[in-house]
Structure 1
Amino acid sequence: MPSATVLYSEKSYADDSVERRIYGPDVRVIFPATASNSLADLSDEDCAAAEGLMILRFKVFAEDLKRFPRLRAICRMGVGYDNLDRVAAADRQIMILNVPDYGTTEVADHAMALALSLRRGLLMHHETQRASPPAAWRYIDDPLLRRSSVQTFGIVGMGRIATAVALRAKAFGFRVVFYDPHLPNGVELGLGVQRAATLEELLHQTDTLSVHTPLTRETRGLLGLKELSLLPKGAVVVNTARGPIVDIDAAATLLKSGHLAGVGLDVVPVEPPVEPVPELIRAYRAREDWTLGRLIITPHSAFYTPQAWDDIRSKSAETMRAALLGPRAQNVIPPESD
């Protein structure tokens, strides 16, 4: 007889072969029979049986947890866990787990691709050469284009993905500086990069900024108009973390004024965007002149490759199995880390 039951809230894969291989006979796996749009679509019977709950896109509020009387662990099938009510889970002594290592290289590559595409003018030349009539057959002299070795590449947050970004930026010749108040002294020495004591110190010297902090109460709205204005004129901002960390309206204001030379976003505050969309997204879709070649928006796709998608599946199952059956729970997010 299975000794634990795991409920998948979303139908993300065609079959359960990988999960059954990882969980083995000790875990009963419940997949929804059809695609679901929220936790409300799950049956009361399945919710009542679940000791482990797997979440990909859905949000879990305190009210939702009342449907899960036996729940012991929730695994967010991804890195971020801002869609889970950790306070309510802690009150019920429910573990919150995540999968921090499934798409590290993909997101790091994506962040660098955004930064380099902007800083090398790839999108700017692309837009002008396909215009009607096309631009002259020559380079564009614009503050957006700068040699890597004369730039400071600033990073907010220095976790796994940011570390991978720092190493890539170093390889391209950038001077790399980061700000992360939660890391112990000496991390910078191991990476061979520099460290800023404050966010303001980082921003003042940063030419290309890449955001890699989780979304918490502390980081929501961390980079607003005041903070982004501290960047030198002609700076580039890249965000592959979470949309609400960067004030998208402030980014629009500074890009339109020319203070920012470029912006690359894989995340926006509301996903998918809903009407009325923010000015930055509206102007991007309308192909307004001040966005052409200076603004790149991708649909929260930085994490994705087929290999990363498979990793989410297997690593989340391994994480949940360890939490329910031991020998030791992994990737546990403590409530006080917010």
Structure 2
Amino acid sequence: MTLTVVEPEGLYPDTALEQRVMGPSVRILQGPCKTSLAELPDEICQQAEGLMTLRMAVPADQIARFPKLKVIVRMGVGYDRVDRVAAAARGIKVCNVPDYGTQEVAEFAILMALALRRGLTLYHDTQRGPNPAPWAVLRHPAVRRQEVQTFGILGLGRIGTAAALRAKALGYRVVFYDPALPNGADRAIGVTRCRTMDEMLAQADVLSIHCPLTRHTRGLVGERELRLLPKNAVVINTARGPILDIEALEKVLRDGHVAAAGLDVIPVEPPVEPIPSLLRAYRDKEEWLTGRLIICPHIAFHSPEAWDDIRLKGAETMRDVLVDGLNTNVIPPESD
């Protein structure tokens, strides 16, 4: 029996690696889709038992176009782009690729924290243009020594753990909150567990967000939570934009409670009108944000090695689940 797997985005110039990994019993079709699964021809949808996506959402109306579908592999860590309720109703397994880009995202979170805390962005911003700041020290509440700070991690999964180890190596005291993590799982890396999120926030001179986006974590960090942080804290988000209330972040940045922030993710990507006012102020280079904000276009994961991992591990996951009947990287519906 031949199984059909569809990769609708045409991510790679050929399917040789996927064919080698999945074996001769799998036929692999690439699609022409650029922005949406709706671009995929019906005749391809009708054949697919497996679907592999990277950037594209997989909503309920598109799942309905795949009558034979058994497995969806989201070629990345986050799985919020897949309608898992609709998939579960059909008995379709949803998988992610949780073990790619771990180092890259963790390093990027630390990089943004260091750039803000050591004044790299401050001096970069103020030395540009025709009227640079004086060639001298600029006193700023974001700038502090690492060893006197506590680094708070929200979500101690693979990436959170990698970030914790790096922060600890730089001299930070590291604390975390993760209600899903079994007791004792943190002891091997020597960080401190907090019993509640509020307890962790109250200590976090740097807050770094590393939890998945689910119905429980959407809007998890709002104005109340941000005001629990010590004054002049730094907020870093390399997870998913909707976890952090960006309007609340703007408010606490404007009134000076939070000294600086680094965002690799925002609530809607790419941004569309109406663009969040914080992003608008950043793009307009408003003076109050000088040295205080970094925004990047969801690229923390990127390296050539990470792209290779996405391809290989995505293909291996599809093989394991669709061909071999394993549960590799399957996301249980009840974990949402």
TM-score between both structures, scaled by the size of structure 1: 0.97
Letter of the 1:314 partner, please give it.
L
Deviations 1:100-132 (A, max 9, x none): 011000000100000000000001011111243
In structure 2, C-alpha distance between the alignment counterparts of 1:79 and 1:259, rounded to whole Å: 32
Letter of the 1:181 partner, please give it.
P
Does residue 48 in structure 1 map to residue 46 in structure 2?
Answer: yes
In structure 1, C-alpha distance between the alignment counterparts of 2:270 and 2:298, rounded to whole Å: 9
Does residue 325 in structure 1 map to residue 310 in structure 2?
Answer: no
In structure 1, C-alpha distance between the alignment counterparts of 2:202 and 2:311, rounded to whole Å: 41
How do 1:23-34 and structure 2 match up within 5 A? 23-32=22-31, 34=32
Give the corresponding residue for 2:104.
106
Q: Once the 2 structures are TM-superposed, how far is the Cα of residue 11 of structure 1 from its aligned partner?
A: 1.5
SS in 1 for 2:147: helix
Of 275, 278, 287, the residue aligned with 1:277 is: 275
Identical counterparts, % of pairs? 59
Give the corresponding residue for 1:291.
289
Deviations 1:151-177 (A, max 9, x none): 000000010000000000000000000
In structure 1, C-alpha distance between the alignment counterparts of 2:112 and 2:306, rounded to whole Å: 19
Q: Which runs of 5 or more structure 1 residues have no equivalent in the other structure?
A: none
Deviations 1:272-310 (A, max 9, x none): 011121111000000001111100000000011111111
User: Contact conserved, 1:255 with 1:290, CA < 8 A, in 2?
Assistant: no
Distance 1:327 1:91, change over 3 A: closer
Q: Once the 2 structures are TM-superposed, how far is the Cα of residue 143 of structure 1 from its aligned partner?
A: 1.4
Deviations 1:133-153 (A, max 9, x none): 222222222111111111000
The runs of at least 4 aligned residues of structure 1 exceeding 3 Å deviation read none
User: Contact conserved, 2:5 with 2:27, CA < 8 A, in 1?
Assistant: yes
In structure 2, C-alpha distance between the alignment counterparts of 1:195 and 1:92, rounded to whole Å: 39
In structure 2, C-alpha distance between the alignment counterparts of 1:303 and 1:54, rounded to whole Å: 18
In structure 1, C-alpha distance between the alignment counterparts of 2:169 and 2:116, rounded to whole Å: 18
User: Contact conserved, 1:79 with 1:101, CA < 8 A, in 2?
Assistant: yes
Deviations 1:55-101 (A, max 9, x none): 11222222222211111100001000001111111111110000001
In structure 2, C-alpha distance between the alignment counterparts of 1:41 and 1:129, rounded to whole Å: 47
Letter of the 1:321 partner, please give it.
R
Does residue 62 in structure 1 map to residue 78 in structure 2?
Answer: no
Of 222, 226, 229, the residue aligned with 1:231 is: 229
SS in 2 for 1:49: coil
In structure 2, C-alpha distance between the alignment counterparts of 1:133 and 1:242, rounded to whole Å: 37
Deviations 1:176-220 (A, max 9, x none): 000001111112212100011111111111100000000001100
In structure 1, C-alpha distance between the alignment counterparts of 2:313 and 2:165, rounded to whole Å: 25
In structure 2, C-alpha distance between the alignment counterparts of 1:40 and 1:135, rounded to whole Å: 52
How do 1:136-215 and structure 2 match up within 5 A? 136-215=134-213
In structure 1, C-alpha distance between the alignment counterparts of 2:246 and 2:279, rounded to whole Å: 9
Give the corresponding residue for 1:96.
94
Q: Which runs of 5 or more structure 2 residues have no equivalent in the other structure?
A: none
SS in 2 for 1:209: strand
Q: Which moved more, 1:181-190 or 1:47-56?
A: 181-190
User: Contact conserved, 2:33 with 2:40, CA < 8 A, in 1?
Assistant: no
Q: Once the 2 structures are TM-superposed, how far is the Cα of residue 327 of structure 1 from its aligned partner?
A: 5.6
In structure 2, C-alpha distance between the alignment counterparts of 1:257 and 1:270, rounded to whole Å: 25
In structure 2, C-alpha distance between the alignment counterparts of 1:173 and 1:245, rounded to whole Å: 27
Letter of the 2:234 partner, please give it.
V
Give aligned pairs, total: 336
Q: Which moved more, 1:258-267 or 1:124-133?
A: 124-133
